[in-house]
Chains A and B, each alone.
Chain A
């Protein structure tokens, strides 16, 4: 009997060890798959010319790059970036950057690196404004975790999976814009607050909608001093969505002339044959987008008289 038990135990132990081994392997594999999902590999060159191969790269603890092109703040996901090169003098808080997107576009702008104050060990600093946001580039190398101040980074080349199609640029949208005074403008590359996104509110919720999905936006009558304007959005599928957009012309305390002009007077922008188009939300009655496929044919009959608000 004891021999039988003894003879069973090694087999049982063997099975148990196999189960444990399998479960550990499975969990490790699962963890690896989970962690590798969405993790981007990149090659980082620091200002001394050293090369670092990283996996799971993060910049400022995020998987997107935030930079400024002129007055516009842009965010590009790592999936959309081929590489970016940081120029300028080390130690400057604001450094010129060239962002090469996978679509072929190159954005030349400014990158806030944090300057020399940024370090790998930023913590709570009571003398300053408080908790510091992470400003470095982090990731993993074959030797372990890796961290470098963004101020010391010269170039980052992202490595995307082979065969993965590059994200395409959004096509420029053309639209007919009718103002509250009845003027009609044919506008190309129409943007709302410098983006192809409509921000509106609906029952205390802030909603966003891609302009490419919209056929037209109808604005309700505007009265002086009105802060929000009711809008009716008609999608290309025929669905109607109701909401409101901020159309205040009141000036905020502390707002400069340029900031006010940008917020109020340049809420709707685009290009016309005569020059730039610029208008405020309080000046618009209707925006009717042209279909992207037939935009070339639709743009021929443009009735574009000069805009009083055009720059």
Chain B
């Protein structure tokens, strides 16, 4: 009886040893394959914290970061072209610029959009060794031209069409315009193509709002008289 008990204890010890050895081997194998080579984000730099902008699937934004203590700009990146640039288009594979490693502190984050209004976060605290995700309430819209018209200028206006908030240019390529979440109007007038239309635009976080404009569309409502 005692022999059987000792044998069972021995087997249990061996099994436990095997599990520990397996776990150690797994940990060593993971460590030796350098997990940051190809997959996942880079490690946070020593002594810094990471600020990550979450923009609902938008990979790149024009933004800058100001240290609230010194009022000095500590980071700025403006990879996106303006809305009126005729050569801009949406690339299918782009590297995100929405993460930045900063010294611990409190920062003001300003995200520029394709209209004159920016999205501003007045106080974002970045802690050492931690990732600080912040949500940027912006969305995207896309103008789809039907009927051959390609590069046409248009205006982005507020919802009651009082003020011009920005200008844009349609392109033959896919292009997303980034604006703060909300309700707008699009005004596009081009005599040579016979296009004179205004469309309501609802931009929400995490979505791309498509607006289809073109000469082949016959179901448009007649334009309301503007406040000429």
Footprint of B on A, CB under 8 Å?
60-62, 66, 68, 71-73, 94, 110, 112, 124, 129-134, 193, 199, 203-208, 252-259, 262-263
Contacts and interface: CB of A to CB of B under 8 A. Distances in A.
A133 B204 contact: yes
Contact of A252 (B164, B203, B228): B164
A259 B78 contact: no
A257 B228 CA distance: 5
B78 A62 contact: no
Given A68-B160, A252-B153, A130 B211 contact: yes
Name the interface size band of chain B.
35 or more
B78 A204 contact: yes
A256 B76 CA distance: 36
Contacts of A263: 163-164
B118 A133 contact: no
A96 to B, nearest CB: 13
26 contacts: A62-B181, A68-B158, A68-B160, A71-B163, A124-B207, A129-B200, A130-B207, A130-B208, A131-B207, A132-B204, A133-B139, A133-B183, A133-B202, A134-B204, A203-B76, A208-B110, A253-B190, A254-B155, A254-B196, A258-B227, A258-B228, A259-B161, A259-B162, A259-B226, A262-B162, A263-B164
A62 B137 contact: yes
B89 interface: no
Contacts of A193: 163
A254 B188 contact: yes
A300 B155 CA distance: 43
Given A61-B205, A199-B116, A254-B154, A71 B162 contact: yes
A126 B193 CA distance: 25
Nearest to B144: A130
Nearest to A132: B202
Question: Nearest 6 CB-CB pairs, A to B?
Answer: A254-B189, A131-B207, A71-B162, A133-B202, A133-B204, A130-B209
Chain A at the B interface: SS class: mixed
A131 B202 contact: yes
A150 B64 CA distance: 35
B167 interface: yes
A73 B202 contact: no
B50 to A, nearest CB: 18
A129 B210 contact: yes
A197 to B, nearest CB: 10
Contacts of A257: 228
A85 B173 CA distance: 45
Contacts of B164: 252, 255, 259, 263
Given A61-B204, A73-B158, A208-B118, 6 more contacts: A72-B163, A112-B159, A129-B210, A129-B211, A130-B209, A262-B163
B60 interface: no
A200 to B, nearest CB: 10
B182 A66 contact: yes
B228 A256 contact: yes
Nearest to A252: B155
Interface string B121-143: 00000000000000001010100
Contacts of A71: 160, 162-163
Contacts of A199: 116
Contact of A130 (B112, B137, B182, B210): B210
B201 interface: yes
Given A205-B64, A205-B76, A258-B227, A72 B155 contact: no
Given A204-B78, A254-B189, A129 B199 contact: yes
A252 B210 contact: no
Interface string B192-228: 0000100111111101111100000000000000111
A110 B154 CA distance: 26
B163 A253 contact: no
A203 to B, nearest CB: 8
A203 B199 CA distance: 32
A262 B203 CA distance: 25
Given A112-B183, A205-B64, A256 B227 contact: yes
A131 B205 CA distance: 10
Nearest to A73: B158
A95 B157 CA distance: 20
- Name which of B164, B196, B210, B228 has the most chain A CB atoms within 10 A of its CB: B164
B181 A133 contact: yes
A253 B202 contact: no
Contacts of A252: 153, 155, 164, 167
Contacts of B190: 253
A68 B161 CA distance: 11
